[in-house]
Chain A
């Protein structure tokens, strides 16, 4: 399963790669990283239809915000699941994200257990969808 993580903090990559070491090693999961909204859109546009099934995006990014990215992804690739990660767990951001079609809304620091469960559920669904 191909997952894209979008955050302007580059260390996020190291963190996620270690957190999902086993899944990556087993080949159950492929992690991709983009450090801005534009970079994420470019990446998704590379393949048609994109390999990525799940996007996790930070909201607070210079340039294109996560919310804007969410809108754009949902416009172009409505099949991709998108969840938001924000440093601020305020209702305004939450409502905007959910209204724009976000699947989940995580607040920082990320609860990796919850995230893992979410991904595991998705992976099962993914597997069962495949013939």
Chain B
């Protein structure tokens, strides 16, 4: 039966992974060993009585393999099975040695030897199955580990891919940020350009009004100086007369008129002067200096400029304006050109509103509509009891619909047709009044008109 062990042993070694991978030349040798062991096993089975020589040969080969398992690398795979088949090898060897020494002793104890051999075979199979089970468990572990390894590699790959993606996205976001910053800067410069343009546009609207407002006093200056010269001629005529013919009363009357005329010339010269100064102040880039300003005079000046400006631009335009100025209103510290712009914007809007309504009423040919813009100044008290200057610009135009009331102070919001308004007037006015520590409020009754109230602190 020893050869059966060798059959298994050579077959096992021949099929083992280690032999295939590390010692391919041995595969053939192990195969030859397997064939030889198989043939010898068959020969032994066919013989009636076991051949002593073959048996001893099998013992030697078996022991040689056990020895090789521990000493030769090529045979090392068999090491795990040595403890499985060694009992069989030893039992048969002891059996044959005993038979050789004393056949009598062997015969009387033959059943013992057979039992030992049987147990050795049972041992071998038990060992084989245990070992196989362990190997299977190990194999499972190995597969699991390999799977984990694979998963790990996959997640590594994924991680790398993600990192690349993150880098790409970061670059994209950075580029976007740069672009947005650029756009922001462009917007900022556009904004300041627009504010400047709005200022220039309001100045443009003013020029016609200014021209008219300067032309009128200049006409008076010219007319009064001309008439004065004529009056002097008259005085000289009278002086040339003698005695009773001379009308001294007329002479003193003319002289009094002459003095009045000079005062008128002076008055109208100053009027033109103030308008030119006002225009210069309006166009001047913000010096931002607050000076004590007569709000009544400012309101009076700007309502006239606005009225005559609109008249000059649009011949069909007409509206009445009223000034209810409180003489008790003290001078207050403001930046005059800024507050002037606010007044101009509000007054222009008011005239625009009444004119729009007047045009519609004219079309409908309904009841007579009297377009009127009123500017009222007064002293009021704020919540904390401090005195404030209150300027109200009121019109009897169409009013502001409720749904756009919140929007009218937004930059670029305009109800005027494209090109007719920048949409910045009210927004800038709001900012200017706020910068003065004041408040700009609206009240509007759709269909009845609007009123804009500017509250400005009297004390700094």
Contacts and interface: CB of A to CB of B under 8 A. Distances in A.
A99 interface: no
Interface string A74-97: 000000000000011010110010
Contact of A15 (B227, B307, B318): B227
Contacts of A63: 318-320
A15 B220 CA distance: 8
B319 A60 contact: no
Contacts of A62: 307, 318-321
A99 to B, nearest CB: 14
A18 B216 CA distance: 18
B308 A60 contact: yes
B223 A109 contact: yes
B324 to A, nearest CB: 15
Given A15-B224, A60-B308, A87 B216 contact: yes
Contacts of A125: none
Interface string B215-249: 11001101110110011001000000000000000
Contact of B220 (A11, A90, A93, A112): A11
Contact of B261 (A9, A18, A88, A96): A18
B315 A92 contact: yes
Given A60-B308, A62-B321, A63-B320, A15 B223 contact: yes
A130 interface: no
B247 to A, nearest CB: 10
Contacts of A14: 260-261, 264
B335 to A, nearest CB: 28
B257 A18 contact: yes
Contact of A88 (B220, B231, B268, B312): B312
A55 to B, nearest CB: 19
Nearest to B257: A18
Nearest to A38: B320
B227 A108 contact: no
A126 interface: no
B215 A108 contact: yes
B219 A19 contact: no
Contact of A60 (B231, B257, B268, B311): B311
Interface string A94-112: 0010000000000011101
B238 to A, nearest CB: 13
B55 interface: no
Name the residue in A21, A64, A93 with the highest tally of chain B Cβ atoms < 10 Å from its Cβ: A21
Nearest to A18: B227
Interface in B189-203: none
B350 to A, nearest CB: 13
Nearest to A88: B312
B219 A109 contact: yes
A65 B318 contact: yes
Nearest to B319: A62
A15 to B, nearest CB: 5
Contacts of B264: 11, 14
B268 A19 contact: no
Name the residue in B261, B264, B307, B318 with the highest tally of chain A Cβ atoms < 10 Å from its Cβ: B318
B331 interface: no
A92 B321 CA distance: 24
A19 B220 CA distance: 13
B11 interface: no
A64 to B, nearest CB: 8
B222 A109 contact: yes
B268 A11 contact: yes
Contacts of B231: 18
A69 to B, nearest CB: 11
A42 B318 CA distance: 20
A96 to B, nearest CB: 8
B212 interface: yes
A64 B370 CA distance: 9
B308 A19 contact: no
Interface of A: 9, 11, 14-15, 18-19, 21, 60, 62-65, 68, 87-88, 90, 92-93, 96, 108-110, 112
Given A14-B261, A109-B219, 12 more contacts: A9-B220, A11-B268, A18-B261, A19-B230, A60-B212, A62-B319, A65-B318, A88-B312, A108-B215, A108-B216, A109-B222, A112-B223
11 contacts: A14-B264, A15-B223, A18-B257, A19-B227, A60-B212, A60-B308, A62-B318, A63-B319, A64-B318, A88-B312, A92-B315
Task: Give 10 closest A-B pairs by Cβ, nearest first.
Answer: A63-B320, A109-B219, A18-B227, A65-B318, A62-B320, A108-B219, A15-B223, A92-B315, A62-B321, A87-B215
